[in-house]
Amino acid sequence: MAPIPSAQKTSREDLAYRLESLPSCHMDSIPCSEDKPQPQLIKKSKQDYPKEAAERTSKHIDQTEDEKKLWSTGCGAAMATTFLYIYGNILVMDQMPVDKRVESWIFVASPTPIFVASLAYITAVTWIGPRLMRDRQPFISLKPIMILYNAFQVVFSAWVFHEAGMGGWFGSYNLLCQPCDFSDSPQAIRMVHAAFWYNISKFIDFIDTMFFILNKKYDHISLLHVCHHALMPLGVWYGMRHEPGGQTTFFGFLNCFVHVVMYSYYLLAAMGPRVRPYLWWKKYLTTLQMVQFIMMFVHAALTLATGCPVGHPLMRVILALAFIFLILFLDFYIKAYRHKVQGSMTCIPKLSSVYEKKNTQFHNQMMNSVGNSKTTDFNYSFSYQKSVAESDDQHVNKSLHID
């Protein structure tokens, strides 16, 4: 019988060869691809599903309510713009002659392009823009552009204010009754040019609302904001075409000064949180805007009452615009700065009632989706949403303002 061979001992050379033949991942204590742990699925509890559904429902309801408000705002602004267009064509263009000095200028032949531009603006900011931004996040890289834009508005408004002042309002004009100078004198021509560039500035102001759309700050796009931006280009156009001087230019001269202050505030606010503590005078900026429209209203009313020989149809337009803007600004002022503690009289609806209405909608929609078998799970989600709403209510009551 053949002897059984004895076990051979492993030499150092054999051991080194075997170690070199191993994969490098084992040598470095790194698991190989076949040894990598497989990702584990995170199981969601039953309570997570109602929470996610409620959050989606909340977001959808908020977007729907914002779009409805914007649509209502757009309809109101479009009706006001259409009324001004009809009034201007019938009572201004038919009763007042065209200033021969501007008859051949661009956009002077007809108000229809101005009217179409205003309606296009209303449509863009109250319907097209919000729908394009519906599933998009707010743009966060607009800060440098906003700083440049506001700086430009400050310089441009200051220049138009200076030109209108040198054209007459710095001394040679009579505040109570100043007929338009239709001559070709240097001062009269300077006022005509100031009126033209002031009209152009009203189209540049459209960019304000575009920033609100891109930042999804739909609460800033109020009826006051849209009406002001849509009516001004058309109203200023009638004055620039028929009487670019005298009494009808006072409101533009005053408005340019207010814009210098207003866009200076926007410029500082866009620079970030470090500057905002020094913007305590924002409340007085709104007061300045209201004083502006009071002065415009009184000035136009006195002009009509004293029978000053100027374009009365234009002064009626200024009177009506000043009254409308004053009422809207007054409403904004009351809502923004006269809000008191709960239980007192206020013009702002209680936020708790708003949240209560929203949470009732959450409850009704979620009950239809999760069924009666998951009522307990949904009640947990509903109580969670209610606690979040109460927390938001307290936060908003502390920092209610509109930038």
Q: What is the DSSP string of 54-66?
A: HHHHHHHHHHHHH
C-beta of residue 81 within 8 angstroms of C-beta of residue 232: no
Joined together, the tokens standing for residue 203 give 């189209």
Alpha-helical (H) ranges within 96-142 are 112-123, 129-132
CA-based Rg of the chain, rounded to a whole angstrom? 33
Catalytic one among 228, 229, 242, 363?
228
Mark whether 162 is an active-site residue.
Answer: no
Start-to-end Cα distance in the chain: 104
For 90, counting Cβ atoms within 10 Å of its Cβ (0-12 exposed, 13-18 middle, 19+ buried), the class is exposed
Would you say the C-alpha torsion 332, 282, 293, 76 has a positive or negative sign? negative
> How far is the C-alpha of 218 from the C-alpha of 207, rounded, in Å?
14
Closest by Cα among 250, 311, 255 to 99: 311
Within 243-281, residue ranges assigned H as helices are 250-269
Is residue 203 within 8 A of residue 117, CB to CB? The reply is: yes
Could you tell me the maximum CA-CA distance found in the chain, to the nearest angstrom? 143
Q: What is the DSSP string of 29-72?
A: T---GGGSPPPPPPPPPTTHHHHHHHHHHHHHHHHHHHHHHHHH
Q: Which of 258, 311, 321, 313 has its CA nearest to residue 285?
A: 258
Catalytic residue list: 228
